[in-house]
């Protein structure tokens, strides 16, 4: 006898796990649809070239790639959606509405060593706006992400959206005399600043011409954009028409002219979208990926140094890189693994029973035979009638006629109601939530009652 284990970094989904997975993916879907995105999908595996074109051959060791026995083409399980998205868009760009708003949610694969918040097979949600260069599209992407987080019960105190602007940062650096060739090194240093003591960071960034005071602004990272409070003092809402301004204390230390040219229009859109108070502008958010060209953002658990819950930004050159027409684009991705960790952390993952209810896995009605001798034989025909009406109907697999045990079965199944068969044409209906029981009554009346929403 050989026994098998699931491959490293994969998960098995037993019924409750599958229900939890649906809970998350359904939340993703409804947030996307609320924000006017349309669902698309592609193959789970693609030609290997699709990934090496953008990221170079080095990426191959991070992929699950394979060649069919006897075949000549190399394939890879998809590690991300963006190349597929660009391919789909490029193939039909001429006939697509502008802007194009697409989302997808499905499995992705990376050949990394598993650890907290990271598996080899995971689910990822992607939203992208193609063909809209405006800060409004940037804001809409962030707003969709925030909408999902809020729908799961997270608040602006649980999670923070950290936003930066690549192009503005680059222009500003250049205006300070930091040569473009060294920007990459500086971004890397900014990305790694959390992993070194402040003195070391200040020392290293001094090489790029920054004073210790300026290093501190980077170290703290956050620059708040303040907006005037609503005119109506009883409302906590921010006046959507008031112009936002950048925190002046940072302004005194670092000349933020270039930064503010890019940020204020975005901030204005974030105000309009009603999410400015979820957002911090953070000079140290750069994202690892080289292809971002403008706004970049990450969502982090407040006070936690966990992995990013979500991340994305603007990538205006990418579609062209995949052979499509030059198209401005902005998007983000969110994985299910870190999201689930954060929900558990914040005690926002619903109970097992609530998950089953919310994904619609619980029975509408449970059929129980009463003591009448013919009742047992009538259970299956009645169940069939209820199912034909579109109801989720079950009966016990137990052979006992003990009503208490059968009702326990009904209760364990989380059914809303039980029908107790009293005879050929008589039944009682018990509401398993309230405990109220009505009947006996004619069978048709019981069926009608059980079918009520």
Partner RNA sequence: GUGGCCAUAGCUCAGUUGGUUAGAGCACGAGGUUGUGAUCCUCGGGGUCGCGGGUUCGAGUCCCGUUGGCCACCCCA
Residue ranges binding RNA (CB under 7 A): 1, 3, 5-10, 51, 55, 59, 62-63, 79-80, 82, 110, 112-116, 118, 195, 287-289, 307, 311, 333, 370-372, 397-405, 407-408, 410-412, 420, 422, 428, 430-435, 437
Query: Which residue, 275 or 318, has its beta carbon nearer to RNA?
Result: 318
- Nearest distance from C-beta of residue 256 to RNA, angstroms: 25
Q: Would you say 136 or 286 has its CB closer to RNA?
A: 286
* Cβ atoms of residues 296 and 312 within 8 Å: yes
Task: Work out how close the CB of 8 gets to RNA at its nearest, in angstroms, rounded to a whole number.
Answer: 3
Cβ proximity to RNA, 267 vs 375, nearer residue: 375
Nearer to RNA by Cβ, of 63 and 145: the residue is 63
Q: Which is nearer to RNA, 117 or 133 (CB)?
A: 117
For the bound state, the minimum distance from the C-beta of residue 446 to RNA, rounded and expressed in Å, comes to: 12
Rounded to whole angstroms, the Cα distance separating 75 from 27 reads 31
Whose Cβ is closer to RNA: residue 273's or residue 295's?
295
User: For residues 222, 226, 230 and 233, what is the CA-based torsion angle, rounded to 10 degrees?
Assistant: 70
For the chain, give percent helix, strand, coil, nearest 5.
Answer: 40, 20, 35
Q: How far is the CB of 373 from RNA (least distance, A)?
A: 11
Q: Which residues, other chains included, contact 105 with Cβ-Cβ below 8 Å and sequence gap of 6+?
A: 25, 28, 29, 32, 39, 123, 124, 125, 126
Assign residue 121 a region: left if phi > 0, alpha if psi is -120 to 50, beta otherwise? beta
Give the position of tokens 């991705």.
Answer: 333
Distance CA 433, CA 414 (A): 9
Closest to RNA by CB, 89 vs 258, is 89
Instruction: Please tell me the distance from the alpha carbon of residue 281 to that of residue 245, in angstroms, as a whole number.
Output: 12
Minimum CB separation of residue 273 from RNA in Å reads 23
Both structure tokens of 22: 């649906």
Q: Which is nearer to RNA, 55 or 219 (CB)?
A: 55
Judged by beta carbon, residue 174 or residue 425, the one nearer RNA is 425
In angstroms, what is the minimal distance from the CB of 308 to RNA? 7
Instruction: Single out the residue of 188, 289, 277, 202 nearest to residue 238, CA to CA.
Output: 277
How many CB atoms neighbour CB 320 within 10 A? Answer: 14
Give the HSE-up count for residue 406: Cα atoms under 13 Å, Cβ half-sphere: 25
CB of 335 to RNA, least distance (A): 9
Provide the minimum distance between the beta carbon of 247 and RNA in the complex, in angstroms, as a whole number.
27
Least distance CB 221 / RNA (angstroms): 16
Residue placing its CB nearer to RNA in the complex, 88 or 246: 88
Backbone angles phi, psi at 97, to 5 degrees: -65, 150
**Alpha helical stretches, state H, 56-103:** 82-92
Q: How far is the CB of 88 from RNA (least distance, A)?
A: 16
**Of the two residues 46 and 247, which places its CB atom closer to RNA in the complex?**
46
Q: Longest Cα pair distance anywhere in the chain, in angstroms?
A: 93
CB 304, min distance to RNA, A: 10
Rounded Cα gap, residues 371 and 369, in angstroms: 7
Query: DSSP assignment, residue 434?
Result: T
Give 84-89's long-range contacts (Cβ < 8 A, gap of 24+). Answer: 84/42, 84/43, 84/46, 84/50, 85/40, 85/42, 85/126, 85/128, 85/331, 86/318, 86/319, 86/321, 86/322, 86/324, 87/42, 87/46, 87/50, 87/322, 88/40, 88/42, 89/130, 89/319, 89/324, 89/327
The two beta strands, 159-165 and 295-301, are: antiparallel
Token pair for 341: 């960790």
């Amino acid at each position: 006898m050989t026994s098998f284990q699931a491959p490293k970094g994969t998960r098995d989904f037993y019924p409750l796990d599958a229900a939890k997975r649906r809970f998350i993916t359904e939340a993703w879907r409804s947030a996307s649809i609320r924000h006017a995105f349309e669902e698309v999908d592609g193959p789970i595996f693609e030609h290997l070239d699709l990934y090496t074109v953008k990221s170079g051959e080095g990426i191959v060791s991070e992929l699950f790639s394979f060649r069919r026995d006897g075949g000549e083409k190399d394939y890879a399980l998809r590690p991300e959606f963006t190349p597929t998205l660009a391919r789909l868009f490029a193939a039909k760009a001429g006939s697509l509405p502008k802007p194009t708003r697409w989302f997808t949610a499905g499995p992705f694969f990376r050949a990394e060593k598993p650890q907290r918040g990271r598996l080899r097979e995971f689910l990822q949600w992607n939203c992208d706006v193609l063909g809209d260069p405006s800060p409004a599209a940037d804001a809409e992407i962030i707003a969709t992400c925030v909408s999902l987080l809020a729908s799961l019960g997270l608040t602006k105190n649980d999670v923070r959206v950290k936003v930066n602007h690549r192009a503005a940062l680059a222009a500003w650096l250049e205006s300070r005399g930091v040569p473009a060739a060294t920007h990459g090194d500086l971004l890397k240093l900014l990305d790694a600043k959390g992993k070194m003591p402040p003195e070391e960071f200040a020392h290293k960034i001094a090489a790029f011409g920054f004073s210790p005071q300026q290093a501190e602004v980077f170290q703290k990272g956050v620059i708040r954009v303040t907006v005037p409070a609503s005119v109506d003092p009883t409302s906590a809402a921010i006046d959507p028409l008031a112009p936002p301004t950048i925190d002046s204390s940072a302004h005194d230390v670092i000349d933020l002219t270039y930064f503010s040219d890019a940020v204020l229009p975005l901030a204005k859109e974030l105000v309009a979208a009603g999410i400015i108070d979820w957002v911090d502008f953070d000079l140290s958010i750069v994202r690892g990926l080289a292809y971002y060209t403008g706004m970049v953002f990450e969502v982090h658990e407040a006070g936690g140094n966990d992995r990013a819950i979500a991340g994305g930004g603007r990538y205006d050159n990418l579609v062209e890189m995949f052979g499509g027409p030059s198209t401005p684009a902005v998007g983000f991705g969110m994985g299910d693994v870190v999201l689930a960790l954060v929900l558990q952390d914040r005690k926002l993952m619903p109970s097992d029973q609530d998950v089953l209810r919310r994904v619609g896995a619980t029975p509408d009605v449970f059929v129980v035979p009463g003591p009448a001798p013919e009742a047992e034989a009538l259970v299956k025909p009645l169940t069939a009638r209820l199912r034909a009406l579109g109801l989720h109907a079950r009966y016990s697999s137990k052979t006992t006629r003990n009503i208490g045990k059968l009702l326990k079965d009904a209760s364990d199944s989380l059914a809303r109601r039980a029908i107790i068969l009293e005879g050929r044409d008589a039944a009682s209906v018990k509401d398993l939530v309230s405990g109220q029981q009505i009947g006996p009554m004619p069978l048709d009346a019981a069926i009608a009652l059980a079918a009520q929403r």
